[in-house]
Chain A
Amino acid sequence: MTGVWVAVLVTAAGCYALKLTGLVVPRGVLDNPRVRRFAELVPIALLAALVAVQTFGAGQSLSLDPARLAGLGAAVAALLLRAPFLVVIVVAAGTAAALRALGVA
């Protein structure tokens, strides 16, 4: 539990430092279009990686959890139907929970 507290506080300090950095660094860093493009693409790469790892990962191995896959599939369907953020989350978790409750997956 102590380790988790350290991780929480280090994450909080790091995240705040990054927010402040943007406000205090000299202007012109974003003048380079490739740097600006990298900044735009970083969240996409990292968040997509998190989706993949949290869907297929189990520690340091990969696994297929049918209920989790179905939940993510339901999230994709909700997104295609332009559902709001919270609805997407509820549909995804609800699908996985329902399949597990029914013993289907």
Chain B
Amino acid sequence: MTDIEDRPAERTRARPVRDGMALGLAVGTSGIAFGAAAVGSGMSVAQACVLSLLAFTGASQFALAGAVATGGGLIGGAASAILLGSRNALYGLRLADLLPRRGARRLLAAHGVIDETTAVTLAQPDPAAARRGFLATFATIYVTWNLTTLLGALGAGRIGSPQSLGIDVIGPAAFLALIWPRLRAGRTERAVGLAGALIALAATPVLPPGMPVILAATAALAGAVLAPLPEAT
């Protein structure tokens, strides 16, 4: 995502569509990892697919699958999955002026407000290009993510136990990969990540599953209140 933001803006009609489709295809195929992890954790193929169709935000979906895997803790699992989706609300604040303002089109556009569409949309030089970039990214990633979720879910059901395939490592590896660029961004980011991990581990023996992860949000609060703000961008 960063290389798209760093790239100099080009005022061509095709550019936002091409960028959006490339990112959508690259990231959308990781639906195969989600489908495999979801079924490996004990969800049905239908549950994995409905989650991809209706929730359509990767980190939250992996979080719920993880809660199902640990057995029970579904309330905490759903709560932490929804809390993980809260960053999409903040993306929406930034995208509101660029997307349809009202009616059915706004309701549809809202479903596409995620990490990747935000990155492409905000990288465009003008509102028209931003709308084309958003639509291309949303459409590509939605189709790819849902098709590969189905493939991963069907595949996981047919080949061996989740443990023997290392599927229990997919969730943590995926989360680590998702926050990796942010951890490289600065010292506060790394401190917040480390503190969040330690808070969750410390709380695991004493809180119901799912809740330790929510408690880790206090690390972000501390980082936002106590640490110096980065240079304005």
The answer on a CB contact under 8 Å between B89 and A49 is no
Bound-state Cα–Cα, A89 to B170, Å:
6
- Chain B residues with Cβ below 8 Å from A54 are 66, 168, 171-172, 175
Q: Given A19-B85, A19-B113, is A48 in contact with B193 using a C-beta cutoff of 8 Å? A: yes
> Does A47 count as interface, using CB distance less than 8 angstroms?
yes
B192 near A72 (CB under 8 angstroms)? no
Q: How large is the interface on A (under 10, 10 to 19, 20 to 34, 35 or more residues)?
A: 35 or more
A61 to B210, CA, bound (A): 13
Is the CB–CB distance between A45 and B192 below 8 Å? yes
Least CB distance from B112 to A in Å reads: 8
Interface flags, B108-145, vs A, CB<8A=1, else 0 = 01111110000000000000000000000000000000
Chain B positions 171-222 with a Cβ under 8 Å from a chain A Cβ = 171-180, 182-183, 188-189, 192-201, 204-205, 208-209, 212-221
Q: Is there an interface contact between A51 and B93, defined as CB atoms closer than 8 Å?
A: no
Interface pair A53/B51, CB less than 8 Å apart: no
A54 to B37, CA, bound (A): 12
Identify A93's interface contact among B169, B205, B218, CB under 8 A.
B169
With A21-B92, A48-B193 known to touch, is A89 a contact of B179 (CB < 8 Å)?
no
A60 B166 Cβ-Cβ under 8 A: no
Judging by beta carbons under 8 Å apart, are A44 and B196 in contact? yes
Q: Are B225 and A8 in contact (CB under 8 A)?
A: no
Q: Which of A23, A33, A45 contacts B196 (CB 8 A)?
A: A45
CB < 8 Å neighbour of A89 from B83, B174, B196:
B174
Please determine whether A44 and B71 come into contact, CB atoms closer than 8 angstroms.
no
CB <8 Å contact, B169 and A20: no
Q: Which of B70, B74, B111 contacts A19 (CB 8 A)?
A: B111
Q: How far is the CB of B136 from chain A (nearest CB, A)?
A: 18
**In the bound complex, how far is the Cα of B66 from the Cα of A12, in angstroms?**
16
A41-70 toward B: CB 8 Å interface, digit per residue (1/0)?
111111111111111111111100101100
A37 contacts B201, C-beta separation under 8 Å: no
| A23 contacts across to B, CB distance below 8 A | 92, 95-96, 99, 106, 109-110, 113
Kindly identify, within residues 64 to 85 of chain A, every residue whose CB is under 8 Å from any CB belonging to chain B. Answer: 65, 67-68, 71-72, 75-76, 79, 84-85
From A49, A58, A98, contact of B199 by CB (8 A): A49
Q: Are B213 and A92 in contact (CB under 8 A)?
A: no
Q: How far is the CA of A61 from the CA of B70 in the complex (A)?
A: 11
- A39 to B90: give the CA distance in the assembly, Å: 7
Chain B positions within 8 Å of A, measured between CB atoms, are 26-27, 29-30, 33, 42-44, 47, 50-51, 54-57, 59-64, 66-68, 70-71, 74-75, 77-78, 80-96, 99, 106-107, 109-114, 163-180, 182-183, 188-189, 192-201, 204-205, 208-209, 212-221, 223-225, 229-230, 232
Q: What 20 additional pairs, Cβ within 8 angstroms, besides A11-B60, A53-B213, A75-B176?
A: A10-B82, A20-B92, A22-B91, A23-B113, A41-B188, A44-B179, A45-B196, A47-B84, A52-B197, A52-B201, A59-B70, A65-B168, A68-B169, A72-B176, A79-B180, A88-B174, A89-B174, A93-B166, A96-B166, A97-B165
